[in-house]
Every structure is written in structure tokens, then in C-alpha cells.
Amino acid sequence: MIMFKNQIILLSLFFFPRTSLPAPMFSRNTISVWSILKKCIGLELSKITMPIVFNEPLSFLQRITEYMEHTYLINRACSLSDSVERMQAVAAFAVSAVASQWDRTGKPFNPLLGETYELTREDQGFRLVSEQVSHHPPVSAFHAESLIGDFVFHGSIYPKLKFWGKSVEAEPKGTITLELLKHGEVYTWSNPYCCVHNIILGKLWIEQYGTVEIVNHSTGDKCVLTFKPCGMFGKELHKVEGYIQDKSKKKLCVIYGKWTECMWSVDPQAYEAHKKSEKKGDNKKQKNEEPNGAENDDADDMPEVQETVSVVPGSTLLWRIDCRPAHSAAMYNFTNFAMSLNELEPGMEAFLAPTDCRFRPDIRAMENGNMDEASKEKERLEEKQRAARKQRAKNDEEWSTRWFQMGTNPYTGSQEWIYSGGYFSRNYQDLPDIY
Ligand SMILES: *[C@@H]1O[C@H](CO)[C@@H](O)[C@H](O)[C@H]1NC(C)=O
Ligand SMILES: *[C@@H]1O[C@H](CO)[C@@H](O)[C@H](O)[C@H]1NC(C)=O
């Protein structure tokens, strides 16, 4: 009898998230995107209705939860006593948080106003709650916390999408804040730009670019990371480079790598010396290089150059990406972490909020490979949302958010959505009926 009890306890301690979806994805080849998009150049993408085959079966709220895939890097930062090493771990976390975008060209579902998502991962030591707090413009707010009180990680994302003819660019609006509670440290940053190329012709591919500045608000120390645009010959494809500097702008260390692969740190002198010796070798090589693809007007092909990161002697590895599962390509290029996000385990219905994305019928139908139903359900939900908005306007009612409120971020002074707490007490009275 005692044996039996122990086994039950063991089972509930070791929950293994699923590692695959119920159905593979639908082929997109038969649809002409161009016929849909040619009328819309320059429009904001949220105003265009795209057929559901271009989606992936996740809500944007679930997609931003993927920032947490490498939570072990925050846990590492918490455990380090050296402040520069802590900043290195935080920088690796900031890069790893956008690594799941690699080859993910499916568009997540726009969350409905009032939609929520929660995720508790005891194995990784965190829980997260998010809410769609605004519809026009779309704003998603999230709050994650360590299960043992080591850190809080929060922010709000305003994905501003622009359609540029051949590509779609997502501007990363909103600040992300990480608080390491035991060290009394606060770091803030914003994500890089993300661009999906060749949405009409050619092979889809993703580029991230822009500068990400991670600021330590206790000291004014900074980590400046540049996500490089790929450039003419693709030499810079996926590269990220930067450094940590102190208040007096002294470079303390260099950080480099690729957001699709790995990140390293090294002493600034060693880095400069290595770069100089590389340049000498490079001058000889460059003459033979072909400007391949430069004359192709139809598609901006992803450059072929695929050399991996060349490691400077003396570097320390900060992070390396995990392999995606073998069936990933047939499943929207999801990582193992992404595969599990929409899983509805038996028993979960009893405690999830009724507004949780896992209950969205359109996403569930798409995940099961039932595209017609998914498409119908998506239309029905959007219509229901419009009707509810009209009704509110008629009654002169304002929408009120449930788990987040506008407030001032004490570290940046800016107006932000701040978690008001209480979600995990699971009082779901008066939640809106959005599905
Ligand atoms: C950040 O601020 C804390 C608190 O003042 C300080 O101890 C630490 O050295 C800083 N970290 C870095 C990486 O500069
Ligand atoms: C998955 O990755 C492959 C290989 O890069 C790419 O051709 C394909 O378009 C991607 N699929 C999705 C759904 O993004």
C-alpha cells in the first residue's frame, strides 16, 4: 500500500510534456498569397484577413511564453556571485528568448481581448500568466515568476506588423524587465526587429536585426547587443555581437555568436586581436566571392553562407540552442517546448481560467488538422468579439482588464501594464465569455 502511494506521488512530480502535435501541418503550396496581398501593400497587417493555412496553432500569448524556454539561464544568473557573469547569463537569456523564431514563418493567432494563458513548469522552476489587455492596438502583457522567489520577469508586447511588398516586418514595441530578487538587480531591454522575407515568391525565411540594450538599473552598466542584418553576401546572417560596459564605458567583455546557434563571451583584447588576424586572411578570400542572387528581382533569397560561429580562443560558452525534434518540419518547425504549449492534459479543465487559449476552438481544430472547422471557428470568434464591442459602445461601457493594470515601471519611469496579482488564487468570477 505504501509503495502504491509513493508511485502516485512520483507520477505527479514527473509530468512529461508532450513532444509532438496530434496532426502534421497542412501544405501551403496551393494558395496564392499574392492574390490576397497585392491590394494591401503598406497596410498594417492586423487589418488584413489572411487564410488560416498561414497560421500556426498557437495564440500570440503562447508564442511569447516561448521566452521562457531557456529559463535555466535566469536560474544560472541568480546563482552567480560575479556581477559581470550575471550580466552575461542575462544577455544569453535575452538572445535565447528570440531563438525559437528561427524558421517559424507561421503566424500565431491574434489573441482575443481578455484571452489569457498560464503555464507552470515545475521542472524549470517558473510560472507565468498573460492577458490580452488591448485589441486596437493589440497588446499582450505577461508576468512570470520563479517558484522559489528568485526572479520576476515581466513586460508587454505590442507587435507592430508592416507589410512591405516582399516581406513583413515586426517592430518590437514594449519593454521587458527582469528582476533578480536576491541580488537586488533589475535589467530591462526590448527585442530586436523581426522580418519574414519572401511572403509572395520564393522560400520564406526570417531575419532579426537591431540593437538590444540591456541596462542594469542599479549601476547604469549596460550590455549592448547588435543583431546584424544579413547584408549582401549573407556574411552576417543570424550574427549577434556586443559587449558589456561599465558606467565609465569601459568594455568588460565581448559577447558574440548567432541567435540560431550559440553565444560566447571573451575578453575584449583577445577578441580584437583575433579579428585583426581574421581580416588579413579575409582580404585574399573576398576576390573570389560571387555576388550570387544579386540579380534576382523576384525573391530575396536567404544567402547560402552557412559557416557556423568561429570561436575565438579563450571564449566561454554562454548558451547553445537545443536540437529541434525530427518531426519539427512537419509541425510548423516547433521546438519541443512549443509542442507542449497548447496541450490540454486531463484534469486541467478543472482549474484553468475559462479564458485560457487552450480552450480556443479554432486553435484546437487547427492543431488537430481540421482546417475547415478552424477557419469557421476563427470567423465566429472574431464576429463574437465585434458584437461584444458594439454592445459595450451602446451601453457606454469601458472594457476592464482583469489581471494587469496600467502603472509606472519604477525602473524606467514609463507607463506599462503591471500584473495586479491574484491569478493563481483562481477566482474566475466575472470573466468574460469570449469563446
Ligand atoms: C548591477 O547592479 C548591481 C547593484 O548595484 C551591482 O552590484 C552589479 O555590479 C551590476 N552588475 C553589472 C553586470 O554591472
Ligand atoms: C520550416 O523550416 C523549413 C526549413 O528552413 C522552411 O523551408 C519552412 O518554410 C519552415 N516552415 C514553416 C512553417 O515555417
What does the pLDDT look like over 234-246, one tens digit per residue? 667 788 899 999 8
Handedness of CA 306, 104, 189, 185 (dihedral sign): negative
Q: How remote is the C-alpha of 293 from its chain's centroid?
A: 30
Q: Are 265 and 282 in contact (CB under 8 A)?
A: no
Q: Which bin fits 89, alpha (ψ -120 to 50), beta or left (φ > 0)?
A: alpha
Distance CA 96, CA 71 (A): 9
* Pocket perturbation via mutation, ligand 1, pick of 218, 222, 247, 253 by most ligand atoms within 8 A of CB: 218
Supply the DSSP symbol for 30: T
**Residue 411 scores a pLDDT above 50:** yes
Atom of ligand 2 at shortest range from CA of 328: 1
Residues 6+ apart with CB under 8 A from 413: none
Rounded mean pLDDT, 229-233: 70
- Taking Cα atoms as reference points, which of 128, 72, 117, 109 lies closest to residue 321? 72
Which residue's alpha carbon is at the smallest distance from atom 12 of ligand 1?
A: 83
Average pLDDT of every residue of the chain: 84
Distance of CA 238 from the midpoint of ligand 2 (Å): 16
Closest ligand 1 atom number to CA of residue 223? 13
Query: pLDDT for 67-101, tens place per residue?
Result: 999 999 999 999 999 989 999 999 999 999 888 88
Pocket test for ligand 1, best of 81, 85, 185 (most atoms within 8 A of CB): 185
pLDDT beyond 60 at 391: yes
- How many residues does this entry show for the chain? 435
Give the distance (Å) from ligand 2 centre to CA of residue 328.
9
Helix (H) or strand (E) holding 115: none
Would you say the CB of residue 204 lies under 6 angstroms from ligand 2?
Answer: yes
**Choice between 48 and 422, residue whose per-residue pLDDT is larger:** 422
Cβ burial, residue 283 (10 Å; 0-12/13-18/19+): exposed
Cell matching residue 225? 547587443
Report the SS3 class of residue 346: coil
Local confidence band at 15 (pLDDT 50, 70, 90 cut-offs): low
* Residue 424 predicted with pLDDT over 50: yes
Residue 405 clears pLDDT 90, i.e. is over it: yes
Query: Quick one: pLDDT at residue 200?
Result: 66
- Most informative mutation of 331, 333, 334, 366 for ligand 2 (most atoms within 8 A of CB): 333
Q: Give Cα separations from 148 to 121, 124, 129, 152, 180 (angstroms).
A: 12, 11, 16, 11, 12
pTM for this entry: 0.84
Region 302-313 average pLDDT: 71
- With a 6 Å cutoff on the Cβ, whether 218 touches ligand 1 is yes
Separation between Cα atoms, residue 127 and residue 129, nearest integer Å: 7
Is the Cβ atom of 416 under 6 angstroms away from ligand 1? Answer: no
Residue 141 has pLDDT above 50, yes or no: yes
How many angstroms is it from 219 CA to the middle of ligand 1? 6
